[in-house]
A and B are shown apart, each in its own frame.
Chain A
Amino acid sequence: MGRFWSLLFLMVPILGVGLFVLAIAGTELPGLSLRDHWLPENINDGGYIIDDLFNFIMYLTGAIFIATGIALFWFLWKYDAAKNPNPVKFVHGSHTFEVVWSLLPAATLLFIAIFQMDAWANHKMRRPILGPGPDGIEHTADDELKPAMVEVTGRQFEWRIRYAGADGKFDTPDDLHTVNDLHVPVDEDIVIAIKSQDVLHSFFLPNLRLKQDVVPGMKQFVWFHANRTGTFDIVCAELCGWGHYKMRGQISVESRENFDAWFQDEFKEQGRTQLEPSEDEE
């Protein structure tokens, strides 16, 4: 039976890698469709690095997965008590091996850690700027940061959206309000302010590789640079109550002209409904 069990453990790397390969290839087999069973399309300029890192870590860990899986199989196969006539190797360890297999992973892990810091900084620390500020040097503390064009507020169970309008300021008469319907122009740096009115939510745009929990009592900024038009999901990714699953929004990335046209239409529409007796804001 030792043979059978060895082969069972060999199946782990074979089937494990196999499923990933089939999924990445988007395989269409009889009774099994794995189309679109992988990272969804990325449309954010800053998102490619996330996919690259994902793939890099996948190849690296994949190699270790295969190597350890095969080593486990091979030792089980070769040293099966029923087949192995040799006496056991009475060894308590090996200093050399311990040093090698401590230092190698340590170096690799440290490399990954340092290698990705730049991407992290771009996503969460380096908000797009309008100018370098008084000292004339970019990426210093006095940079003139790009203001948010739109503010998204999570509440059970919808996304309340508010545009600053032409004056670039919130709480002015030219603000535009929508619910679950976010529009942004393509090929521009977009900064969004995100907030929560009640509980934690998470503002997750899978196609823009963007996720940030929104925290009641905190105002945060997220940014991206979309490079293709289309309509994509806004997902709530942090448990926010019984209706968490249905807290779905939409982001439409449009050309600048289409965006402006949409904005004008919506603003006129808003003016009309504001004159009528207000339907309950809820």
Chain B
Amino acid sequence: MSSTTADSHGQTIDQDHSDRLSISAFIGTYVFSRDHKIIGLQFLFSTLLWFLVGGLLALGIRLQLAWPWEGMPIIGKMLFSAEGGQISPEFYTTLFTMHATVMIFFVIIPILAGAFGNYLIPLMIGADDMAFPTLNMLSYWFMWPAFIFIGMSFFEAPYGAGGGWTSYPTLSVVPEAAPGSESAQTLWLLGVTCVGISSMMGSVNYLTTIIQMRAPGMTMFRLPLTIWSMFITAVLQAFALPVLTAAGVMQLTDRIIGTGFFVPEGLIVNNSAPATGGGQPLLWQHLFWFYSHPAVYIMILPAMGMVSDIIACFSRKPIFGYKPMVYSLCGIAGFGFIVWGHHMFVSGMNPYLGMTFMVSTMMIALPSAVKTFNWLGTIWGGKIQFTTPMLFSLSFVSMFVIGGLSGIFMAATPVDIFIHDTYFIVAHFHYVLFAGTAMAVFGAIYFWFPKMFGRMMNEWWGKVHFFFTFLFLNGTFYPMHILGAVGFPRRLADPYHYETFSHLQPMNQFMTLCAIGMVAVQVIFAANFILSIFMGRPVGRNPWGANGLEWSAPSPPGHGNFDFQPIVYRGPYDYGSPEVDADFYPQIQPPPEGAQVAEEANS
């Protein structure tokens, strides 16, 4: 390394000096970079690694549910030699707590906003970087204390945090209540707080950048839906996150200095009486869900935006109903703040309040339905190219329908009495978050990979990856609806000793086998991803024939993104326009003479 930089920096610099220069240059360029593209890739690589961790944790849960107490093959012996390789019930609670924590806070939220938001926002609006590059860098580096805290929490003695990702008091506050509620829960709270700080920095940056730094001609209604969705997501984060952060601090002070926000009087936990009292456990649930319901939209809106762009591109046709798409995003954001109580229908919250939340929750299904119909409208009458990103995006639509419709069961309060906290809800959010968001993220990776690295990922292996992931994910998650209908509760280390559920083990074994298959085929993705960075087919600026501004920059874009000043003439969805011969019409392409007059008269 030192010799190459010495060469590029010229021979006049002496060896020692150039060595220091190259190291600091390397750190400045690739480690503490202020370039939104490097930060985006840092988020992408980190989150993909955590995706692997989260997946392996899920396999631990699935193994226990398929063959309770039989222990993990091979690694079980290493991890729990004391228990003969068995998953202990304490460790089981840590497993599902950490699976959710990792997937939500370290994978889905940062891969959407952190990785794709960072990488795409300046490129798609024609800016040279984010508004606040240093803040942007900090938003990535604040993830590291979070990684470390949660990692420490997992390995903390006697057991890692086990209060669920929802961390409901009093279980999570009173140390005697669970082995994971000793010091591990404090570490967990610190970790989540750091994620919150990171997201907060990111969202401020995204909002400013999108409002202030659009290229000439890039009006708000010429923004790609990806950017609109990132914008709305940033609004949600900016307004909802402070509440979670405050709640987290309250739980911390309850635990550390005995404030008693969430602990009522007169408890006897595990034969000892907590010193504090006077609080209300439901308060935490209100505060937590006031953030975490908007958060479920933070976890899906960017995916919806990216899928819209990919589907329009490979249908070679304008997006159907651009403005309704934008308005439904806004509608989701607005409604998103008044539905949190649907997580609390049977929590002990006033049932009159439950009725109000039921009505608002029913109504929030509406914008999602509108979006789905518009995606179908986009495909209708197009010329569909079945590329890998398109297949993943189509599967997003297909699977999101399932996840959206199953939500209506739970919005219906009387039905929710029965299916609340059963596998029906587990099915619902895995259809939204894995079959929906994660599949969209795969599609987005295949789609924007050539922009990020100047090379294509292998299409054939991409389709193999899609086919088996699609198959196995349905094999894993679809039967959960059936389990939920029987009332099969979530978070039980061994549900089969209940008479009602004892016969459900074979179905769980089938699901576990599918889950193993699903994790295994990700090897194809990992190999394709890593090998393509170095050996993929090199491509030019616009391999897909897409309209967005990012496709007019070099692949990969250099520092400052554009080697010319982009000027925007139209929205990003004029595929198949009769005005030009090509089946796409980039945003930067000036209209032909004569057409310009018509265009101006139109707008």
Contacts and interface: CB of A to CB of B under 8 A. Distances in A.
Given A206-B418, A213-B347, A75 B179 contact: no
B414 A101 contact: no
Nearest to A247: B492
Given A90-B577, A98-B374, A236-B489, 14 more contacts: A9-B395, A19-B479, A34-B482, A37-B485, A80-B386, A81-B385, A91-B318, A92-B573, A93-B320, A120-B414, A204-B421, A215-B348, A235-B498, A239-B164
10 contacts: A50-B418, A72-B397, A75-B380, A79-B379, A79-B380, A88-B316, A93-B320, A124-B413, A197-B269, A245-B495
B168 interface: yes
Contact of A217 (B163, B271, B281): B281
Interface stretch (B186-194, B500-508, B516-524): B500-508
Contacts of B351: 120-121, 124-125
A262 interface: no
A40 B489 CA distance: 13
A148 interface: no
A25 interface: no
B575 A217 contact: no
B236 interface: no
B324 A93 contact: yes
A224 B31 CA distance: 62
Interface in B158-183: 159, 162-164, 168, 170-171, 174, 177-179
A117 B420 contact: no
Interface string B490-534: 011111011110011011000000000000000000000000000
A90 B269 contact: no
B380 A5 contact: no
A36 B486 contact: yes
Interface in A79-98: 79-81, 84, 87-94, 97-98
A39 B478 contact: no
B373 interface: yes
Interface residues of A, number: 102
B205 interface: no
Contact of B420 (A39, A76, A211, A220): A211
Nearest to A207: B500
A241 interface: yes
B576 to A, nearest CB: 4
Interface residues of B, number: 120
- Which 4 A-B residue pairings sit nearest by Cβ, starting from the closest? A217-B264, A89-B381, A88-B576, A124-B351
Given A90-B576, A241-B177, A216 B264 contact: yes
A19 B178 CA distance: 39
Interface string B390-411: 0100110111011001101101
A109 interface: yes
Contacts of B177: 156, 198-199, 241
**Chain B facing A: main interface SS:** helix
Contact of B489 (A5, A200, A237): A237
B220 interface: no
A207 B498 CA distance: 13
Contacts of A106: 363, 366
A277 to B, nearest CB: 20
A68 B400 CA distance: 11
Interface string A198-229: 11101010110111111111101000000000
Contact of B373 (A97, A156, A200): A97
B394 to A, nearest CB: 7
A88 B352 contact: no
A72 B359 contact: no
A239 B347 contact: no
Interface in B436-486: 463, 467, 470, 474, 478-479, 481-482, 485-486
Contact of B384 (A2, A92, A244, A282): A2
A120 B281 contact: no
A139 interface: no
Contact of B359 (A102, A113, A198, A244): A113
A149 interface: no
Interface stretch (A57-65, A129-137, A165-173, A263-271): A57-65
